[in-house]
Structure 1
Amino acid sequence: MRILFWGTPDFAVPPLRALLGEGHDVVGVVTQPDRPRGRSRSQLDPSPVKQVALEEGLPVLQPDRPRGEAFLAEMRALAPDISVVVAYGHILPKNVINLPPHGTLNIHASLLPALRGAAPIQAAILEGMPETGVTIMQMVPALDAGDMLHVLRMPIDDDMTYGELHDALAEHGALAIVQALAMIDAGVSHALPQEESLATYAAKIDRATAQIDFRAPARQVQRVVRAFDPRPGAWAMLRDTSVKCFSARVVGDGSDAALDDPTRESPPGTVRSVEADGVAGGMIVRCGVGAVRVLDVQPSGKPRMTALAWARGRGVSIGDQFALPVVAASASATADPA
């Protein structure tokens, strides 16, 4: 089949490379326009997907919005049999979805109908899910609501960060789309409708979502840190300065009983110790229940560093208090995505 591939960020690169590696006829790529960067905004950077397309000599379409007769004419000229979409960045109108004879497939990074929407990878970590995966679905105009053709599952390790899970799911997506297309070619693909009553939503990430509320239990604080590592970084305020926290570990079993007496008596957000790096190193911060050990930090305007290096530079001292949000940042993914 002639495949028109839609995608923009790093997450979409492994599926594109997998389709090309399996010998599929990728007739073109649709990706978002080049983005300006730098203070002058004069340099335009191509998306990761466009870079691969150029390396492979594929035609590239970069509409501001994927709609209108001019764009449809460009699609028709490529004569795709099917479209494959992964993290493209725009909702597609019905006439674009239905233009290829076999419609449009989407690679979504969750076990649908759970975690439809913009940030399913972060939401799976925030919600403490033991597993996630990728779903290949038939795209429809409604948000991530199409019939499911294929699912691949994977466990979420206790210390897995967003970056690690993102990369693993990108590879799962690559395998899943190759398998789904093979089943379609063999005539053994079966579409399964989603159960709407089980649908949940993964809201788009904003700065408030990534704020750490140390009043939460230690296990939840650790999930917030993991969910935004390496980007955008879970953060809290200390002495009117924003500090991002990385590589958090729960102290003991996460209960107050695992803490020494001085730590138990401290209010949430209190720095209880800063020790040499290693298994027992890092910065211990009191939570609503238990404590977390933060190994790395990034103060505003500085590079990522160990908590010990920060302490030695007089960035933090025992007894310092991280500010608590006036309104606790949400640690779930229940709101409709933007």
Structure 2
Amino acid sequence: MPLRLVFMGTPEFSVPTFKALADAGHEIAAVYTQPQRPAGRRGLELTKSPVHQAAEALGLPVRTPRSLKGEEEQQAFRALEADAAVVVAYGLLLPKPILEGTRLGAYNGHASLLPRWRGAAPIQRAVMAGDEETGMMVMKMDEGLDTGPVAMTWKVAIGRDMTAGELHDVLKEAGARLMAEAMAVLEVGGLPLTPQPTEGATYARKISKEETRVDWTRPAQEVHNHIRGLAPFPGAWCEIQLGGRKERVKLLRSTLAAGGGRPGEVVDGDLAVACGEGAVRLLEVQRAGGKPVAAGDFLRGAKIGKGARLL
């Protein structure tokens, strides 16, 4: 018999899982998502989250509390009389009364191979660290930060030039399939749970503005991982001397290159840049106020030659 579920999620990453559960025939009692946020170039328009929009398209009730710590919100959640809650990138802390507010508990779709990269930015941190593998996990939630026992795992290889954005898109689809499978097993009463290992835990803290600037004194592999781990958002960046002034430029795609020189020095005509050790070739960049462009198109407009310096 299909489960009666509460779905809790906010960004576009959550939408495939939400749709997979609805398509599987489960009853979605309610959808919880973050409140509307300012959007648009001037931030004047309030915009519903991707999950909010997807839920409305299916005619499902949507709730947008700013907190779940109050007794009134907790009672409203329990009143749904759901079998389970499914949580994917929701963005709010779930207190114990919410975690225990359904018959079978709350299950989280998390984008890492736990206990590695618990926390808010597991996809970006995995790429920035140069991990060769990550995955999706379905975990039964407890009061800790991504510390609950694991039910299912789907592993994904991280290509040497893969960006966080590309990995995000692979994992959101893998996560949808995995959660649908997990709920199908839970539906018949036999979802096994395995405690996480006590060793190997790392924390995937949020990306801060202060760490987005490229440090050309680092080895090329680290610079490359930094660029692809922050692409497309928020984007690694550096400054380039253009037209007599410094201009901030986002670096969206790169690969390792041969050669070397002073850190930040352009070492050929195809935008290979020297690092502390080795070099990276920039493949896609974005000037302030512009659109992402291939490095060749950027060079035709910017006229940056061998020996130029990126800061």
Which residue does the alignment assign to 1:274? 269
For 1:192-231, list aligned pairs within 5 A.
192-231=194-233
- RMSD (CA atoms): 1.5
Distance verdict in 2 for CA 1:40–1:209, change over 3 Å: closer
**Residue 319 (structure 1) aligned to one of 289, 300, 307:** 307
Tell me whether 1:248 sits opposite 2:254 in the alignment.
yes
Deviation for aligned residue 1:39: 5.7
- Partners of 2:72 and 2:280 lie apart in 1 by 55
Deviation for aligned residue 1:222: 1.2
Deviation for aligned residue 1:123: 1.1
Which residue does the alignment assign to 2:279? 291
Deviation for aligned residue 1:163: 1.0
Gaps of 5+ in 2: none
**Residue 108 (structure 2) aligned to one of 106, 122, 143:** 106
- Partners of 2:292 and 2:187 lie apart in 1 by 48
1:76-127, Cα deviation, whole Å (9 max, x unpaired): 3322111010000111111111111111111110010111011110111112
Deviation for aligned residue 1:308: 2.7
Gaps of 5+ in 1: 252-257, 276-282, 324-338
Which residue does the alignment assign to 2:126? 124
- Partners of 1:148 and 1:83 lie apart in 2 by 15
- Partners of 1:158 and 1:233 lie apart in 2 by 18
Distance verdict in 2 for CA 1:39–1:217, change over 3 Å: closer
Structure 2 residue identity aligned to 1:274: G
- Partners of 1:306 and 1:130 lie apart in 2 by 26
- Partners of 1:297 and 1:65 lie apart in 2 by 39
Deviation for aligned residue 1:140: 1.1
TM-score (norm 2): 0.93
Which residue does the alignment assign to 1:36? 38
**Residue 186 (structure 2) aligned to one of 173, 184, 199:** 184
Deviation for aligned residue 1:269: 0.5
Aligned length: 305
Deviation for aligned residue 1:42: 3.6
For 1:69-148, list aligned pairs within 5 A.
69-148=71-150
**Residue 11 (structure 2) aligned to one of 6, 9, 12:** 9
Contact 2:268 2:306 in 1 (8 A): yes
- Partners of 2:178 and 2:104 lie apart in 1 by 18
Q: Does the residue aligned with 1:5 lie in a helix, a strand or coil?
A: strand
For 1:16-27, list aligned pairs within 5 A.
16-27=18-29
- Partners of 1:76 and 1:189 lie apart in 2 by 22
Contact 2:81 2:103 in 1 (8 A): no
The worse-fitting range, judged by mean Cα deviation, of 64-73 and 95-104 is: 64-73
Distance verdict in 2 for CA 1:291–1:39, change over 3 Å: closer
Distance verdict in 2 for CA 1:302–1:41, change over 3 Å: closer
Where in structure 1 do 4 or more consecutive aligned residues deviate above 6 Å? Answer: none
- Partners of 1:181 and 1:302 lie apart in 2 by 44
Distance verdict in 2 for CA 1:115–1:39, change over 3 Å: closer
Structure 1 residue identity aligned to 2:293: M
Contact 1:274 1:307 in 2 (8 A): no
Deviation for aligned residue 1:41: 4.0
Identity of aligned residues (%): 41
- Partners of 1:68 and 1:235 lie apart in 2 by 42
Contact 1:246 1:297 in 2 (8 A): yes
